[in-house]
Structure 1
Amino acid sequence: MYARAIAATTTALLGTATLLTPTSDARVGDVRARPAVVAHRGASAYAPENTLPAVDTAARLGFSWVENDVQRTKDGELVVIHDDNLKRTTNAEEVFPGRAPWKVKDFTAAEIARLDAGSWFGPAYAGTRVPTLKQYLRRLDLNHEKLLLELKNPELYPGIEQQTLKLLGNEGWLGGRYSGRLIVQSFDAGSLRTVHDLKPALTTGFLGTPAKAELPGYARFADLVNPSHRKLTKGYVTAAHALTGPHGRHLRVFTWTVNDADTARSVARYDVDGIISNKPDLVRAALNGR
């Protein structure tokens, strides 16, 4: 019943979210082409980050794009969590007191599945679990959502690019009805280049702010360059848009993490293609009032 309710609510609301996503032929600088708004780690201001409740909250708010972080357990399971350790967002210290420093890579999937990943955020979320990537993808599918997936700390997990792509393929996310619903990003240029080489058709994004002179090199394997809003300028966005990415479109820019109305309006004036936010509803309201 709950799942059907979420799906129905999402279907009704996605029309609103679609208004925030520029169409493929929208011109740079066209005031009618608003940036896509991406719910950072799900709607993480309102539910515990990178959990299924955060995904569901983003859907209820009417947002089709969500961002997440992927890492790997000791026994090879891909899980959705931001930090490379379990301390901040789970009760790992309490459940496994002798296992410091509580690194994700030192715990099995079964051990991580025992942890409470919601109580730190609020008592209403007690018992929320760290989702596996497979569980996360299936919830996104139920909610008709799109995914900005970050390969987190790939240097800790050799081969995570191939493993993630295999899972995405097995779950049907590399084509067909999922076309246009997935972007893979990373702070690690080498990791992102590997993803592009393995799946050239996949949309990819580099997290960071390369120098303008370096952007042509990134445009060979990245469709987007995604900097912090604190390092963003109108000139930087213009320089990116002047380049063509690997799929024949201008190099796009999604900026993070924008959580106030003034910053949202400011970066929108730079003609960014996307805004990543813990409070996507606040960003939407700011853009609607522009």
Structure 2
Amino acid sequence: MSPLRRARPVVQLSAHRCGAGQDRTLENTRVALDGALRLPVEYVEFDVQRCGDGTLVCFHDDWVWVGDRRRDLAELTFAEFAARAPHFLRYDEVLPALVGHARAHIDLKFSDPAAVVDAVGQAVAVLGADEMIVTTLDDRTVRVVRDWADEHGHDLLVGLSLGRRVRGLPLNRQLRIRASELLPRVRILNSRANLVVANHTLARLGIAAFARRRGLPLLVWTVDTEDSLRYWLRPGRAWLVTSNEPALALRVRAGLERSRRAERRRGLEGSEP
């Protein structure tokens, strides 16, 4: 192929759980968010849960320890949640913090349709639809958001996440879930997802090829090792990569870009008469 071929776009980066790295206590916290905003990543990813009083919080799990019991967030007021997890951010704190710094990668962990629409509408009002993406494991939630976006004239990317945890589920259910992920055509069509979101292992097993065939952007999560980052950050492999190690990912991407520029220079020199 000619060295003068059209260059493929650089793969973008999303700082997973506000770029907390391997320290789970920092996930979705102000410390992690401030660190991510100092990096030239294109997106910052954060999880959104809903407390029982309707307050949206940046938190991954749908439960917290209360004494020696696990209590669902849906049963707790924000004050009760904050008493157990005071260092986590509220949703309405994160959105304005991103303005002018990075786009929002909003991973919804709840599925009440009215609450979902309200949360997405709030983000669009603060950031604009072109400065955010929405991802979720729930097919119905994808469709709710896509239908809402179309109704209001927003060109919003909404992704169906493939690769949910199945450990502990009955074997037949595990197999059904994985089959629906490895062959996701029906789910993508029914949910109206316009962004394919896949665990990096499943992406290599065919989901990346599916996204290319359908002409859909591909988001790959969560890529943390240097070898895996080197694979997925090659232009054309994905549209966006989510990483717990955004600083490492940026170094790998910069190294790939330097190598690509050097290769193009050598190609141009070799093509001179």
TM-score bucket (shorter structure): 0.7 to 0.9
Matched residue SS, 2:94: helix
Tell me, in whole angstroms, the C-alpha distance in 2 between the residues paired with 1:116 and 1:211: 33
Matched residue SS, 1:254: strand
1:115 and 2:65 correspond = no
- Opposite residue 75 of structure 2, the aligned amino acid is D
**What's the counterpart of residue 226 of structure 2?**
261
1:231 and 2:209 correspond = no
Matched residue SS, 1:86: strand
**What's the counterpart of residue 55 of structure 1?**
33
**What's the counterpart of residue 107 of structure 2?**
150
Q: Percent identity?
A: 27
Instruction: Say if 1:68 and 1:150, in contact at 8 Å, map to a contact too.
Output: yes
**What's the counterpart of residue 174 of structure 2?**
none
**What's the counterpart of residue 91 of structure 2?**
133
1:164 to 112, 119, 133: 119
1:35 and 2:11 correspond = yes
Superposed CA offset, 1:130-171 (max 9, x none):
221111112222x522111111142xx4633122134324x4
Matched residue SS, 1:41: helix
**What's the counterpart of residue 25 of structure 1?**
none
Question: C-alpha displacement at 1:81, in angstroms?
Answer: 0.4
1:84 and 2:62 correspond = yes
Name structure 2 gaps, 5 residues minimum.
164-179, 257-273
**What's the counterpart of residue 106 of structure 1?**
75
**What's the counterpart of residue 120 of structure 1?**
none
Report how many residues are paired: 228
Higher helix share: 2
2:149 to 199, 212, 223: 199
**What's the counterpart of residue 49 of structure 2?**
71
Matched residue SS, 2:18: coil
**What's the counterpart of residue 284 of structure 1?**
250
Tell me, in whole angstroms, the C-alpha distance in 2 between the residues paired with 1:253 and 1:281: 21
Q: Is the alpha carbon distance of 1:188 and 1:77 closer, same or farther for their aligned partners in structure 2, counting shifts above 3 Å?
A: same
Question: C-alpha displacement at 1:287, in angstroms?
Answer: 2.2
**What's the counterpart of residue 218 of structure 1?**
188
Instruction: Say if 2:182 and 2:206, in contact at 8 Å, map to a contact too.
Output: no
For normalisation by structure 2, the TM-score amounts to 0.75
2:213 to 242, 248, 251: 242
Question: C-alpha displacement at 1:255, in angstroms?
Answer: 0.6
Structure number with the bigger relative contact order (C-alpha 8 A, sep ≥ 6) is 2
Aligned-residue Cα RMSD (Å) equals 2.5
**What's the counterpart of residue 169 of structure 2?**
none
For normalisation by structure 1, the TM-score amounts to 0.70
- Opposite residue 44 of structure 1, the aligned amino acid is A
Tell me, in whole angstroms, the C-alpha distance in 2 between the residues paired with 1:145 and 1:37: 10
Q: Is the alpha carbon distance of 1:107 and 1:278 closer, same or farther for their aligned partners in structure 2, counting shifts above 3 Å?
A: same
Instruction: Say if 1:40 and 1:67, in contact at 8 Å, map to a contact too.
Output: yes
Tell me, in whole angstroms, the C-alpha distance in 1 between the residues paired with 2:202 and 2:105: 21
**What's the counterpart of residue 263 of structure 2?**
none
Tell me, in whole angstroms, the C-alpha distance in 2 between the residues paired with 1:64 and 1:153: 25
Tell me, in whole angstroms, the C-alpha distance in 2 between the residues paired with 1:50 and 1:30: 38
Matched residue SS, 1:232: helix
Please tell me whether Structure 1 or Structure 2 has the larger radius of gyration of its CA atoms: 2
1:181 to 111, 128, 131: 131
